[in-house]
Structure formats: structure tokens, C-alpha cells
Amino acid sequence: MSPTDTLTPVPAQEATRVHNTNPLRQLTFDYWDALNSYNTEKTLSYLEGNYRQAHRGEVERGIEQMKMFGVKLGVSEESPPHIKGANEAEMYVALKDPLGIRRILMKFAMVEGEWKITFAEEVE
């Protein structure tokens, strides 16, 4: 190598953390399956504590109405789960009920090493 040749340093590879979003998908579909099974306690178990406490009555009434009319909800992933920081994530699902299709935003938080639902509401 001659003195005029120079080596271009290769930038060090940045460590990219790949987030596994499969647990979020599983949680999402397990939650809706529990609703469709009219299993109140199982449905509530997927919710983060404060959200569960605030929405317990709403979930119980909703399941009772679904059961009374034999309603089953269809759910499909509208957008993949998106991890926002170390302990938060969100995704959108399309919810098919007897009145049509609604867009639901689901938010999640990591609680004691386990993902829990912190928000599941219809959005525009």
C-alpha cells in the first residue's frame, strides 16, 4: 500500500433492538376471544389494573348484552403493533359488530414483565 492510499473507516454497526410484537398480537386476539366467549373475568384479566377498575362495569354490561343477543365480534389487525419506548405500545384493529365495522385503537403497557391493555376505544 502506498502512502497516498487511505483507508476509509467502516462505521461500527449500531446494535438494533428488534422488538417482538407477537405477544401484543396474541394479547389483542385473546382479549377479543374472551369477550366473544362471554368470559368477564378472563376479559378483565387482560386489562391493566387502573383501566380494569375504571371500565369493569362497562365490560360487564357489554358482555351481558352480547350474551343476551348472541353477538360475536369479528376482529382483524388494521395496523401492526408499534412499540413506543420501553414499556408502551399500540395497534389498530378493525372490529366488526352487527352495526358495521369500527376502528379501535388499543394501547398497551408493560406491567411487571407482562403486556396489559391500557386503552381499547373506538377512534376516527
Give me the pLDDT at residue 20, please: 87
Summarised one tens digit per residue, pLDDT across range 85-100 is 889 999 999 999 999 9
Instruction: Enter the pTM of the model.
Output: 0.83
Give me the pLDDT at residue 5, please: 52
Torsion angles phi and psi, residue 59, rounded to 5: -65, -45
pLDDT tens track, the chain, 124 positions: 545 555 555 544 433 344 789 999 999 999 999 999 999 999 999 999 999 999 999 999 999 999 999 999 999 999 999 999 889 999 999 999 999 999 999 999 999 999 999 999 999 8
Look at residues 22, 33, 34, 43 and name the one whose alpha carbon lies nearest to residue 91: 22
Give domain limits for the chain: 22-122
Phi-psi region of 85 (alpha: psi -120 to 50; beta: other; left: phi over 0): left
Highest CATH level, class, for 22-122: alpha beta
Give me the pLDDT at residue 90, please: 98
